[in-house]
């Protein structure tokens, strides 16, 4: 599991050791950003963790498949540029910002909008596939519900058909009414940025010290 700056390294950073070096540390070779690279790995892992947690809280249709698609990629180093990216299904932006429907009941001020329904439909549609998986999961959950109380539980009890036709009907309703924004991705960005500021500040100091004294431990 990726970890933040270790306790021993934090102790070195907090000691003010870098400040005591004055201007004598100006002559060193190319700085190796090992600690920065480690921090990128840590922050990418936190990004996946927080995004997954935020998404699960929304209980949005297709959240399960979307959650499984969120993966931290390896750190990329191109010259002096260090970067890391997060891979996930491209429909995340619709779940995050919502989508206006024909009647625009739930889309709010989303920049996205479903096109008017013209009939037909494709069984290979990503949206319909995601909805079908969600319908199946709701059907499985309903088996352990003994006394339906909420509308959602009653809906779960009523699900018996997990065919494409069921998913198609639900998708048509969604396109008509729209999707409420969840802000799961936007909220994740805000949370990770707060963590990143202190993380990188410590990592850069540590890399400078290690560059001077050749101590990468």
For residue 150 the two structure tokens come to: 């909420």
pLDDT along the chain (217 residues), means of 10: 59 54 49 85 95 90 85 90 91 91 77 69 65 71 50 56 74 87 95 92 85 63
- Helices 7-14/184-213 angle, 10° precision: 70
pTM of the model: 0.68
Helix ranges, the chain (H): 7-14, 17-20, 34-58, 63-69, 92-97, 126-142, 151-158, 164-177, 184-213
Nearest alpha carbon to residue 187 among 44, 50, 39: 50
Residue 93 has a pLDDT of 93
Residue 216 has a pLDDT of 46
Between CA 2 and CA 46 the distance in angstroms is: 8
Residue 141 has a pLDDT of 52
Residue 144 has a pLDDT of 46
């Amino acid at each position: 599991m990726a970890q933040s700056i270790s306790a021993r390294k934090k102790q070195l950073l907090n000691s003010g050791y870098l400040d005591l070096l004055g201007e004598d540390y100006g002559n060193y070779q190319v700085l190796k950003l090992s600690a920065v690279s480690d921090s990128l790995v840590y922050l990418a892992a936190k990004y996946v963790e927080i995004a997954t947690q935020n998404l699960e809280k929304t209980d949005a249709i297709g959240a399960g498949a979307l959650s499984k698609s969120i993966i931290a990629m390896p750190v990329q180093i191109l010259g002096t540029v260090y970067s890391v990216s997060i891979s996930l299904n491209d429909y995340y932006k619709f779940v995050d910002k919502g989508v206006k429907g024909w009647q625009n009941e739930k889309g709010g001020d989303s920049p996205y909008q479903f096109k008017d329904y013209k009939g037909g439909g494709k069984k290979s549609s990503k949206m319909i596939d995601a909805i079908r998986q969600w319908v199946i999961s709701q059907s499985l959950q309903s088996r352990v519900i003994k006394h339906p109380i909420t509308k959602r539980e009653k809906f779960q009890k009523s699900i018996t058909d997990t065919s494409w036709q069921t998913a198609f009907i639900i998708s048509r309703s969604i396109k008509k009414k729209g999707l409420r924004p969840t802000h799961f991705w936007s909220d994740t960005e805000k949370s990770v940025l707060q963590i990143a500021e202190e993380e990188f500040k410590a990592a850069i100091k540590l890399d400078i010290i290690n560059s001077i004294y050749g101590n990468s431990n």
